Amino acid sequence: MSADEREYPSEEVQRRRLTVAGVLSLVLVAIAAVVVGAVAGAPQGAASGTEGSAGPTGDSTSAEGTADPRPAPSEAVAPAAVDTFDKTARSIDDPASIWVVVNKQRPLNPQDYEPDDLVDVPVAHTWEPMMRQEASDAVVAMFQAAADEAGLYLASNSAFRSYSTQVDLYGDGSDPTTAPPGASEHQTGLGIDIGSEGGCTFECLEDSPEGEWLRTNAYRFGFLLRYPADKVDVTGYPHEAWHYRYIGVELATEMHDTGYTTLEEFFGLPSVPLGL
């Protein structure tokens, strides 16, 4: 059949085809419009399929698509300090304990106690000193540090004193700086009166470089300035710038770091009235 003889669809068929094509075009346009409108009008976070999810900036959104106000950050609260120091690690009553607390209201038991580990202390001195071995070692280390670090040369004026010696020294009790027999720290073998090799003793130590160095550094070696000037009504004794008591590095450091200056206050013991 020639090209001229080829059959063409009738006008009726062509009209139907155009109608179907037009309808399909309208349907596609309508679907596209619905999709575009849904995307443009969706709330933030809808893509995740959850209501109130975080938007691009991290703000939470409500179901209506409005951003919820971000809560103001609260001020950080420091954790409460926890006291980890064990105050019961050593006895404060046993005369052989380096933590024993001795004062006019707390005499030694027995009152004529004498340490069984007394040794000569190999340092410069006025009267030959004896102390318990641990305290003696600490004195030697402290005196050496004063010389090495500050060029200061310390000396012992008095260390261990026996019960009988304290009886003689105490006399009628008229000297407020002398403890009653059985209530002296010197009797424990842990107390020492410190001066300088140059002759500065007792009250002189208050304003001397040696006294200043000791007040700053004695705790490093386990010593405590036992009778501070501002705690007369706690210790029961006038200020003694020269009297140091060995309590061990652990306790001395804890008291230094926490600001306690008397054993009575640190261990919660009653104060001792002056003149008792």
> What is the pLDDT averaged over residues 10-36?
62
> What is the pLDDT averaged over residues 17-29?
62
Question: 161-172, pLDDT tens digit by residue?
Answer: 999 999 999 999
pLDDT of 104 > 70? The answer is yes
Least confident window among 45-54, 89-98, 166-175: 45-54
Distance CA 104, CA 94 (A): 16
Name the β-bridge partners of 155.
Answer: 195
Question: What's the mean pLDDT when you consider all of the chain?
Answer: 84
Task: Tell me the pairing of strands 191-196 and 240-246.
Answer: antiparallel
Question: 227-249, pLDDT tens digit by residue?
Answer: 999 999 999 999 999 999 999 99
> Which one is predicted more confidently, 80 or 100?
100
Cis peptide upstream of residue 129 (ω within 30 degrees of 0): no
pLDDT recorded at residue 16: 64
pLDDT recorded at residue 176: 87
Mark out the alpha helices in the chain (DSSP H runs): 11-41, 133-150, 163-170, 209-217, 232-235, 249-258, 263-266
Longest dimension (CA), the chain: 156
Least confident window among 6-10, 97-101, 135-139: 6-10
pLDDT recorded at residue 275: 77
Quick check: 193 and 227 in contact, CB under 8 A?
no
> What is the pLDDT averaged over residues 118-125?
98
pLDDT of 81 > 90? The answer is no
pLDDT recorded at residue 11: 64
Least confident window among 4-8, 16-20, 156-160, 251-255: 4-8
Q: Which amino acid is at 161?
A: R
Cis peptide upstream of residue 110 (ω within 30 degrees of 0): yes
Tokens of 238: 């006038």
Pick from 70-79, 148-157, 165-174 the range whose average pLDDT is largest.
148-157
Quick check: 238 and 176 in contact, CB under 8 A?
yes
Of 167, 181, 174, nearest to 107 by C-alpha is 181
Cβ-based neighbours of 219, under 8 Å, separated by 6 or more = 249, 252, 253, 255, 256
Enter the pTM of the model: 0.71
Instruction: Establish how many alpha carbons lie within 13 A of residue 265's alpha carbon, considering only the half-sphere containing its beta carbon.
Output: 18
Give the DSSP H or E segment for 130: strand 130-132
Please name the residue that has the structure tokens 């849904």.
38
